[in-house]
């Protein structure tokens, strides 16, 4: 079933003390009884304490990335079983910063998706075009390619563990948001692409989040679009009141 979801991607922000302080404020401000799934993604070092702190709060915890291998000589990396061992069941994969700065290709993301699904984790799969792609009107082709090459190898049954996050790179951290109409147009295209490659039920049931400069001031009009099921929030997720306002924007 399609769900409304608001997830905060904290990126490389918030040490342990800052995490505890932000989580305390979130527990006091975020409304979790209105049917919206609320998720935060602290850095790896603070996942365990976040799980403990948020127990019973209705706010879930996800990781920002994981390695595709089960274990081994991959200095500095974190595996699916490590995440699961501290209680993390959801992972963001394919964020544009991972693609741009850490060489994450569609092929590598396909492997990561497989590993996460093998461990019965939920994947928040990110994708989106760059400014040049949109200017040259290649944005639909780029998004279709990212989906087909990184994700569409999964089985129909595996879609119950997938959340999509359309994040146009030109709107991330820039203050420039895609208009609600641009978000709706792309989300409808994504659903149509899934319906063609899989079926209508899968396309209807998957939650598609929008990410890129979502703020309390613009969340409501973006979330009001029929094919937008919530947001993946960067900068505005680091402020408890702002994040709570975005959660309440449905
Ligand atoms: P901003 O909300 O800071 O633009 O970041 C969006 C994002 O990258 C979420 O993953």
Active-site annotation holder among 67, 95, 139, 187: 95
Active-site annotation holder among 104, 129, 144, 167: 167
Nearest to 48 by CA among 64, 61, 35: 61
Question: Ligand 1 centroid vs 72 CA: distance in angstroms?
Answer: 32
Question: Ligand 1 centroid vs 169 CA: distance in angstroms?
Answer: 9
Active site annotation includes 167: yes
- Residues flanking ligand 1, CB < 6 Å: 9, 95, 167, 172-173, 211-214, 232-236
Reported as a pLDDT band with limits 50, 70 and 90, residue 24 is very high
**pLDDT attached to residue 176:** 84
Does residue 122 contact residue 89 with C-beta atoms inside 8 Å?
Answer: yes
Indicate which residue's Cα is closest to atom 7 of ligand 1.
234
| pLDDT tens per residue, range 188-244 | 999 999 999 999 999 999 999 999 999 999 999 999 999 999 999 999 999 999 999
Mutate to test the pocket of ligand 1, among 235, 245, 249 (most ligand atoms within 8 A of CB): 235
Q: What is the mean pLDDT of the chain?
A: 97
Rounded-to-integer distance, Cα 22 and Cα 27, Å:
9
Q: Is the pLDDT reported for residue 175 higher than 90?
A: no
> HSE (CB half, 13 Å, CA atoms) of 93?
33
Mutate to test the pocket of ligand 1, among 123, 129, 174, 211 (most ligand atoms within 8 A of CB): 211
Question: Ligand 1 centroid vs 211 CA: distance in angstroms?
Answer: 6
**pLDDT attached to residue 249:** 97
Nearest to 190 by CA among 141, 122, 132: 141
Rounded-to-integer distance, Cα 40 and Cα 30, Å:
11
Q: Is the pLDDT reported for residue 1 higher than 90?
A: no
């Amino acid at each position: 079933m399609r769900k409304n979801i608001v997830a905060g991607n904290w990126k490389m922000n918030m040490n342990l003390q800052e995490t505890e302080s932000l989580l305390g404020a979130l527990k006091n401000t975020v409304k979790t009884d209105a049917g919206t799934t609320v998720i935060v993604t602290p850095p790896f070092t603070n996942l365990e304490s976040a799980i403990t702190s948020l127990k019973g709060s209705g706010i879930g915890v996800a990781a920002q990335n994981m390695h595709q291998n089960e274990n081994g000589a991959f200095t500095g990396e974190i595996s699916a079983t490590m995440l699961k061992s501290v209680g993390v069941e959801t992972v963001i994969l394919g964020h544009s910063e991972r693609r741009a700065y850490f060489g994450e290709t569609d092929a590598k993301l396909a492997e990561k998706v497989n590993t996460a699904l093998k461990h019965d984790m939920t994947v928040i799969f990110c994708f989106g075009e760059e400014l040049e792609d949109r200017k040259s009107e290649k944005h639909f082709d780029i998004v279709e390619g990212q989906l087909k090459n990184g994700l569409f190898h999964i089985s129909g049954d595996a879609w119950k563990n997938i959340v999509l996050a359309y994040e146009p790179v030109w709107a991330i951290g820039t203050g420039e948001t895609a208009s609600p109409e641009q978000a709706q147009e792309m989300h409808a295209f994504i659903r149509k692409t899934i319906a063609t490659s899989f079926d209508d039920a899968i396309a209807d049931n998957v939650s598609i989040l929008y990410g890129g400069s979502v703020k309390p001031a613009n969340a409501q009009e973006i979330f009001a679009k029929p094919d937008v099921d919530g947001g993946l929030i960067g900068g505005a997720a680091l402020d408890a009141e702002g994040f709570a306002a975005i959660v309440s924007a449905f």
